[in-house]
Chain A
Amino acid sequence: MDERTAADAPAAGEGDGAASERSTAVRDSLAVGIATAIYGISFGALAVAAGLDVWQTCFLSLVMFTGGSQFALVGVLASGGVAAGGSAIATAAMLGIRNVVYGMRMKPIVDDVDPVTGRGSIWLRVAAAWVTIDESTAVALAQPNDRAARVGFWVTGITIFVGWNLTTLAGALIGDAIGDTRAWGLDAAAAAAFLGLLWPRLKRFQAGAVAVAAAVVATLATPVLMPGLPVLVAAVVAVVVGWFNLFDRRRAS
């Protein structure tokens, strides 16, 4: 899912007292949450177009619940079918790695440690992990203090979880009804969806360079490799550039 909406959300005012900071956090969360949840419609429609049934589509939104991986899984299955299953799983999993980083950042904010045992509730942590995504993390990090951050994290996460699953179902039913997806341009819609996820990540020159190189590698690899594999091969670009920290300069504008 994308963080642009989170970056655009108004920053909470300072010095207005805790109640005001909390209500600002709630307002930020609902704005980002509702805007994000709406595009579950496009996921639902694209998943059905890729050959998933309505149950499978809804299962992904309930359990996987991380937009980038969901779009990637159905994108690879759309191009390579079940034969590309290994690549589809690997791509979805690698896109999920950033959630590990988000979880580490959110853990101290959401942990409600019991004063007697000194341990947090396991169920609370599992629930927090479940709704750890781009948007809940971004809204939490945009708040001025830990209390507001906790409110932002939970309200954003839960709003998107409920909304995303409802719109996924709606999208899947629509996708099921329209039949010929190419005639409706759903293949182009999938490309535009990936671009929307990528767009807010292109602020640094290094990211732009990686994006262009990865796109070129994937295109060149398409005729020679099985569907699904070109995307995985392109991931090597990120490892090489990231390891040696190549192209590390801020974009001029």
Chain B
Amino acid sequence: MTTWHIILIASAATLALKLVGHLVPAGFLERERPARIADLLTVALLAALIAVQTLGAGQEIVVDARVPALIVAAALYALRVPFIVVVAVAALVAAGIRALG
């Protein structure tokens, strides 16, 4: 598989899902349990991606400049600072720590 294959397959899948919602009669996902699982699936995947992105280095778990950067980001989101500002500050924190270290 090349990067293009991955991009084409993944894009086709997500676009197909969007079309399903608009073209297929409502039913299955309107029921309580599937709707709840779909909702929590988003939460679980994002949380797992945060963990891997913050602590993972290949197959190792590493605590480095990303951890304080994420803590600062969480504090800023709690203060309702806009997304783009938080992302930039997180990058700055990590870059600053690495430059000093």
Residue ranges of A at the interface with B (Cβ–Cβ < 8 Å): 2, 4, 8, 35, 38-39, 41-42, 51-52, 56, 59-60, 63-64, 66, 68-69, 71-73, 75-77, 79, 82, 85-86, 88-89, 91-104, 106-107, 110, 125-126, 128-130, 132, 182-199, 201-202, 206-207, 210-219, 222-227, 230-231, 234-235, 237-239, 241-243, 245
User: Could you tell me if A191 and B45 are in contact, using CB atoms closer than 8 angstroms?
Assistant: no
Residue among A4, A126, A198 making CB contact with B47, cutoff 8 Å: A198
Residue among A103, A226, A231 making CB contact with B21, cutoff 8 Å: A103
Q: For residue A222, which residues in chain B have a CB less than 8 angstroms away from its CB? A: 51-52, 55-56, 59-61
Q: For residue A211, which residues in chain B have a CB less than 8 angstroms away from its CB? A: 43-44, 46-47
User: Could you tell me if B41 and A189 are in contact, using CB atoms closer than 8 angstroms?
Assistant: no
User: Could you tell me if A183 and B90 are in contact, using CB atoms closer than 8 angstroms?
Assistant: no
Residue among A96, A129, A212, A239 making CB contact with B23, cutoff 8 Å: A129
Q: A223-B60, A235-B45 are in contact. List 9 more A-B contacts (CB 8 A).
A: A97-B41, A132-B22, A188-B54, A198-B47, A210-B43, A214-B47, A214-B51, A219-B55, A238-B45
B26 at the interface (CB under 8 A from A): yes
Q: For residue A91, which residues in chain B have a CB less than 8 angstroms away from its CB? A: 45, 49
User: Could you tell me if A79 and B77 are in contact, using CB atoms closer than 8 angstroms?
Assistant: no
Given contacts A63-B15, A214-B47, A242-B36, whether A42 and B84 have CB atoms under 8 Å apart is yes
User: Could you tell me if A188 and B21 are in contact, using CB atoms closer than 8 angstroms?
Assistant: no
Given contacts A79-B56, A98-B38, A227-B58, whether A35 and B82 have CB atoms under 8 Å apart is yes
A-B contacts, 25 listed (Cβ < 8 Å): A59-B11, A69-B10, A71-B49, A82-B1, A88-B10, A89-B9, A93-B10, A96-B17, A98-B39, A103-B21, A107-B21, A110-B22, A187-B94, A192-B86, A194-B50, A194-B53, A196-B86, A207-B39, A207-B40, A215-B51, A219-B52, A234-B48, A238-B40, A238-B44, A245-B33
Please give me the 3 A-B residue pairs with the lowest Cβ-Cβ distance, nearest first.
A103-B21, A185-B94, A242-B37
User: Could you tell me if B43 and A201 are in contact, using CB atoms closer than 8 angstroms?
Assistant: yes
User: Could you tell me if A107 and B22 are in contact, using CB atoms closer than 8 angstroms?
Assistant: yes
Interface residues of B in 15-35 (CB under 8 A from A): 15, 17-23, 26, 29-30, 33, 35
Q: Chain A interface secondary structure, helix, strand, loop or mixed?
A: helix
Residue among B5, B39, B80, B87 making CB contact with A189, cutoff 8 Å: B87
A2 to B84, CA, bound (A): 12
User: Could you tell me if B53 and A59 are in contact, using CB atoms closer than 8 angstroms?
Assistant: no
